Structure 1
Amino acid sequence: MPRHFQRGDTRYHVRKFLIFSGYITVIFLLILIFEDRLWKASIAFGFAGAGVVVALQDVIASIAGWFAIGLSRLFSVGDRIQIADIKGDVIDISILRTTLMEMGNWVNRDLYNGRIVRIPNSVVLKGQVFNYSQGFPFVWDEIRIQLSSSSDHDLARDLLLRAVREAVQDYLPEAQKSWQRVTDNYRIKNSQLEPTVMLSVTGGNLDFSLSYVVDYAKRDVMKDKIFADIVGNIIRSEGKLKWPASSTIVNVNKSPEPTPPQTNFLA
């Protein structure tokens, strides 16, 4: 590997190219060396071909899936995808398998759990593939905030909307340009990218839903920032905004009361 390739993606593509070129060179040399014997071998392969196809159907399907991934550009190395219930970042694509650094499972939020998952390429021919990175590298996210019915709902709407707008203002123009490219390439209706706040009433409380677009890789960071701003605004509202009162009382480590002894008055 040449030392002057510093970027990880460049080193990866050069390494994959060298490996693939090595395979092609070895096959070509074998054909040249055993050219006179290939004709006789082809006759024997013809009889055994049907059995080989049946035995290697999963391998053939994976190779076909590899071609589908490349030709259809389903995903590439570095993309965040989800196949069936497995979600993660693509770290390698070989002829037979796609390798992911898995996310989620026993880990909450969009964090790596440390497992490397190898998925046969044949699954892309049978199931759904979700790509978070390709085309429009943003996703819509939502935050729900409940306040008491005595809160000033107009003030709450203004503060919540301001908190979301301040959080997304830096990358919203980029999201709008990216969405424009999507609408140019696909037949899709224009969508609302500006943050929105919707109010409903749930159980006698004010239920606010905040919707906004965010970079797929920054969902957790953005949600933490927005929640921190909202909590600060509610504290500084001088009682105009209140959290709903909890009606649930949980007894922790409370021993059960002893059952009084029963007396048999008929004895």
Structure 2
Amino acid sequence: MLENLALLPENFSVPGSMFRLLVSTALLVVAIIILRTLTARFIRKNVTSSELRGRLLVNSRNGFLLLGILGLALIWGDQIRALALSIVAIAAAVVIATKELILCMSGSILKGGARSFNLGDRIQVKDFRGDVIDQTLLATTIMEVGPGKTGHHRTGRMVVIPNSLFVSEPVINESFTDNWDFHAFTVPFKREDDWPAAQQALLESARRQCEPYLETVRKYMNKVGISRGLEVPSVDPKVSIQVPAAGEIHLIVRLPVKSGQRSHVEQAILSEVFANRAFSGKNA
């Protein structure tokens, strides 16, 4: 032991403030031990009931323990406060440094709790749109679909989306149901074109495409509406009209399709309608 003390630096010393704190702590501990010993001895000698004696001994022990903790808090208050401020500063620095990671984990918990989508669903977050092929705690991987927000062809590009986007951005899930979806696409015309004939041709083609499975879709959607408590819209194909600008007519074709068959059905309708007629004028 003497050899260990000899290894201490010659200029080693304890600061005066720290020395006073250590002395105060030692005096407090000694005083509490003495008081507790005297109190326990007094209880054992003067209390005859064993049940009451045991209760008083336990209460006195806990009371002196609490007194010691309060005394230490008073003695070391300034140091504890400084330590707490340091811990808070370190915690704040860690939170700032790992902000994105925390947001990614929060987004993962949010999308999991809200059941926003599952593997295989087609989603759109901000400008990213595609089929979900992988999910982790920090990111979601999609196979991009396009071109744009109306295309349904895979571009061959894989997009890794940080889950932090799910905290601040809405998620559009295009796969509302597991087996059947509603699909809508726009066909633009000029006002002078024969758009009424095109509207009728598009509607007839959509009905022909849906005819083999229309009743199956109707039963399925009714079942979904009952299970989810929703009022399911009509599944019959329809073609509505929009006027986005003067001189333009947009025909909006909406029809039910099997999941994953949007592009195929859309192309079949357009090819059938425009194969033999262009609808480029009233006399076309």
Q: Please tell me the TM-score bracket, short chain as reference.
A: 0.5 to 0.7
- Output the CA distance in 2 between the equivalents of 1:205 and 1:119: 37
Pair 1:130–1:181, CA change in 2 (3 A) = farther
Gaps of 5+ in 2: 1-82
2:261 matched to which residue of 1?
218
Give the 5 Å matches for 1:144-223. 144=187, 159-186=201-228, 188-198=230-240, 209-215=252-258, 217-223=260-266
Contact 1:141 1:214 in 2 (8 A): no
**Of 200, 225, 231, which residue of structure 1 is paired with 2:274?**
231
* 1:29-50 residue CA offsets vs partner (Å, 9 max, x unmatched): xxxxxxxxxxxxxx99x93434
Contact 1:92 1:99 in 2 (8 A): yes
- Output the CA distance in 2 between the equivalents of 1:210 and 1:51: 54
Which stretch of structure 1 is more off in the superposition, 197-206 or 107-116? 197-206
1:113 matched to which residue of 2?
155
Which stretch of structure 1 is more off in the superposition, 201-210 or 160-169? 201-210
**Which is higher, the Rg of structure 1 or of structure 2?**
2
Contact 1:149 1:206 in 2 (8 A): no
Code of the aligned partner of 1:85: D
Deviation at 1:206, TM superposition (A): 9.1
Code of the aligned partner of 1:56: T
1:131 matched to which residue of 2?
173
Code of the aligned partner of 2:118: S
Alignment root-mean-square deviation, CA: 4.0
Contact 1:102 1:115 in 2 (8 A): yes
1:243 matched to which residue of 2?
279
* 1:142-188 residue CA offsets vs partner (Å, 9 max, x unmatched): 353759989796x8766543321111123333432443244224454
Contact 2:150 2:185 in 1 (8 A): no
Code of the aligned partner of 1:226: I
- Output the CA distance in 2 between the equivalents of 1:99 and 1:68: 17
Code of the aligned partner of 2:234: Q
Code of the aligned partner of 1:84: K
> Aligned residue pairs: how many?
195
What secondary structure, in the 3-state scheme, does the structure 1 residue paired with 2:166 have? helix
- Output the CA distance in 2 between the equivalents of 1:123 and 1:226: 36
1:142 matched to which residue of 2?
185
Contact 2:143 2:158 in 1 (8 A): yes
Q: Identity over the aligned pairs, expressed in percent?
A: 27
What secondary structure, in the 3-state scheme, does the structure 1 residue paired with 2:164 have? helix
Which stretch of structure 1 is more off in the superposition, 80-89 or 179-188? 179-188
What secondary structure, in the 3-state scheme, does the structure 1 residue paired with 2:131 have? strand
1:70 matched to which residue of 2?
112
Give the 5 Å matches for 1:31-50. 47=87, 48-50=90-92
